Homo-oligomer: A and B are copies of this chain.
Amino acid sequence: MNKKKVFTHFDSQGKAAMVDISAKKKTIRTARASCILSMKKETFLMVKNGSTSKGDVFGIARVAGIMAAKKTHELIPLCHPLSISLIKIDFELDDGNFSIKIKSQCKLDDKTGLEMEALTAVSIAALTIYDMCKAVDKNIIISDIKLLEKSGGKSGTFKRK
């Protein structure tokens, strides 16, 4: 007796449209996302040391991610403008794999969730790190952009297994 899952961004004739959220309730909603940058050892160590002696790589990527999350509805065509309450971005260095994990956490009190804001935050933070390292290493790869968790709203909590 499953209600069939359907794409919500198409109307009955298959044309793109924003999902109508006018009748939904405002509730506290959260979303968390992450991604990974993989680079060669030399680059990783420059970033790692650079980030202590120069202080700026992660600082700039963090600002870029926060500002980009606020632009999500300008970037993703069918996203709604939202009253974002919180955007946080953290970095974890993995010395064994020469990789950097970026994690975002977003929160608001509005009629729809901000999964896309959380995903946009880590994506642009990662691209910013790429930009700052590309003079030494153009082979950096950004991977595993994924939603970790969301809560709030009618569809309830999602947690990636």
- Contact status of A14 and B88, CB under 8 A, knowing A64-B77, A67-B77, A127-B75: no
Q: Is the CB of A5 within 8 A of B85?
A: no
Residues of B within 8 A of A66 (CB): 16-18, 77-78
| A59 CB, nearest partner CB in chain B, Å | 4
Residues of B within 8 A of A6 (CB): 135-136
Partner of A135, one of B7, B11, B28, B62: B7
Q: Is the CB of A14 within 8 A of B54?
A: yes
A79 to B26 CA separation, bound complex (whole angstroms): 21
Residues of B within 8 A of A76 (CB): 64, 124, 127-128, 131
Q: Is the CB of A21 within 8 A of B63?
A: no
| Interface check A100, CB cutoff 8 A | no
Q: Using a CB-CB cutoff of 8 Å, which residues 11-61 of chain A contact chain B?
A: 11, 14-23, 28, 35, 46, 50, 53-56, 59-60
Interface string of A133-153 (1 = CB under 8 A from B): 111101111111111001000
Per DSSP, chain A at the interface is: mixed
Q: Is the CB of B133 within 8 A of A7?
A: yes
| A6 CB, nearest partner CB in chain B, Å | 7
| Interface check A93, CB cutoff 8 A | no
| A26 CB, nearest partner CB in chain B, Å | 9
Residues of B within 8 A of A124 (CB): 75-76, 123
Q: Is the CB of A22 within 8 A of B86?
A: yes
A7 to B115 CA separation, bound complex (whole angstroms): 28
A70 to B116 CA separation, bound complex (whole angstroms): 16
